[in-house]
Structure 1
Amino acid sequence: MDTSGSLSITHLIFNASPLVQFVMLFLLGLSIASWTIIFSKSNSYKAARAKADEFEDKFWSGIDLNNLYQECIKKGQDLIGLEVIYSSGFKEFVRLINSGPADQEVVMDGTYRQMKVSQSREMENLESHLATLATIGSISPYIGLFGTVWGIMHAFIALAAVKNATLSMVAPPIAEALIATAMGLFAAIPAVMFYNRFVSKVEALENRYINFMDEFATILNRRLVRVRSEMNMKNNEVPQNSVQPSNGYSQKSFNHPLGEEHQNQYSRARVNTQSSPYHTPGVEGDRYRNSSRSPLQGQ
């Protein structure tokens, strides 16, 4: 199409009917909002995945649970993803232990519920603005189509008043109407494409969080059984086994999430997942089973 003179795109836009111009301006605003969300969410998901990798490397490196908790507390409001889930779960676990004698099932149920609440809040942050992106992708083509229909209708009304209609009279109104459709597609296509991509990333992170919660709950449950056994063997000498996340606790009881005697054997135990007592089924938890590396060696 000849884009010079009266049929240039800018000329058609500025000489379109007021309603078509409003539709174009609205679609331009939707496109800007869409790309703003796309860049923002891309950075958020990239940071969330990097933080999850960093935390899991540290968690499975054999670091003391209390030291890891203190590191999370020092970050304050900068906690993201697994850090939030871990710190909330560990804090609730210690609180229930120190509140007095409690059934093991009650302790673990309360701990897991607290981690679930934190995980739900993290998912809300990850899913924020995705609905807006989906809405833009859904309505933009229809808004553009509305502008096109209105523009063509306006063109035919103008032609009705002319006895001898020519192509030069028909082309400009139809061209300006089609610009609205093009702008609608320009706003919708990236929004739909990135929405589907972001949903996939959110689901992957959600599975990763859930698998970590299951693994961490299994570790805490195992340690709780062991601590109770040691306390019974020592005639319930509670002060020696008191757990305080702020002041420290028995190094023997909570030195490593798997226990001291398992720390050096962990990499071998994770390979044989069928017989290992430390394997937790799950999509993300099985990544160590399918890898030749030990989870203690990092990502």
Structure 2
Amino acid sequence: MNVIDLFLKAGILVQCVMLLLLAFSVISWAIIIQKSRMLTQASHQIKEFDEQFWSADQLSKLYEECHEQKDSLSGTELIFYSGFKEFSRLYKINPDMPKAALDGASRAMRLSVNRELDILETHIPFLGTVGSISPYIGLFGTVWGIMHAFIALGSAKQATLQMVAPGIAEALVATAIGLFAAIPAVMAYNRLSVRVARLDQDYLNFIDEFTAILQRQAVAVRK
């Protein structure tokens, strides 16, 4: 007997449990592949813009370049653009209060970070949910299948292991599929969460560095 035979010979409820777990597994792998690519692109974008940022002669020119493609900005490019835009706007309104301009730029950049993290974290909690509930769903299907196997065994005139073994094997497949769905989901959830946290720290580090540069420029202009 193979897994397909065990699935076809299982009860309707156990089959529904197996199909649900397989659906969880397929969706989880789709999320894992999509998010892995997205986080890799985000990491590359940070490195590329970091080189561009520190090699720029004037931040105003870099801002103009970002402004030309403002609809497609993401990551540190978007953080820089929103921060520089807010700082310039507030500083022109009241050049005697650079601190207010710096605070406004910092808030704008942190809002951009929150939006970026919302995009990066989308669907990742689903992996944690799958990893948490899949073993229990599989166990439910197993218990249900074994219960029916023993009920059928009780009505038989002569009980043998050969009679009950196929039913128990069919039920245990549900637990196996539950673990098959849960283990990759848990591992990916932990790994992706760590990567998102690292990106978050990179964004916050950029905000601190950029804010320090704006502060030095504001002080230099006042002198």
Instruction: Give the match for residue 220 of structure 2.
Output: 226
* Candidates 204, 213, 227, aligned match of 2:198: 204
So what's the TM-score if we normalise by structure 2?
A: 0.97
1:132 aligns with 2:126: yes
RMSD: 1.1
For 1:211-233, what per-residue CA distance to the aligned partner results, in whole angstroms no more than 9, with x for missing partners? 1100100000000011112xxxx
Contact 2:91 2:98 (8 Å CA) reproduced: no
Larger radius of gyration: 1
Write the distance in 2 (CA, Å) between the matches of 1:228 and 1:53.
33
Query: Structure 2 unaligned runs (5+)?
Result: none
For 1:10-50, what per-residue CA distance to the aligned partner results, in whole angstroms no more than 9, with x for missing partners? 11111110000000000010001100100000000000000
Write the distance in 2 (CA, Å) between the matches of 1:201 and 1:166.
54
Contact 1:152 1:173 (8 Å CA) reproduced: yes
Write the distance in 2 (CA, Å) between the matches of 1:108 and 1:63.
21
Write the distance in 2 (CA, Å) between the matches of 1:8 and 1:213.
57
Instruction: Give the match for residue 36 of structure 1.
Output: 30
Instruction: Give the match for residue 82 of structure 1.
Output: 76
Instruction: Give the match for residue 73 of structure 1.
Output: 67
Instruction: Give the match for residue 109 of structure 2.
Output: 115
Give the Å deviation of 1:101. Answer: 3.7
Instruction: Give the match for residue 50 of structure 2.
Output: 56
So what's the TM-score if we normalise by structure 1?
A: 0.73
Judged with a 3 Å threshold, the aligned counterparts in structure 2 of structure 1 residues 16 and 132 are, in CA distance, closer, same or farther, namely: same
Higher relative contact order (CA 8 A, sep 6+): 2
1:152 aligns with 2:134: no
| Structure 1 counterpart SS, 2:55 | coil
Query: Structure 1 unaligned runs (5+)?
Result: 1-6, 230-299
Write the distance in 1 (CA, Å) between the matches of 2:59 and 2:20.
53
Contact 2:56 2:62 (8 Å CA) reproduced: no
Q: Which amino acid aligns with 1:200?
A: V
Task: Determine what percentage of the aligned residue pairs are the same residue.
Answer: 53
1:161 aligns with 2:155: yes
Write the distance in 1 (CA, Å) between the matches of 2:182 and 2:96.
55
Aligned residues: 223
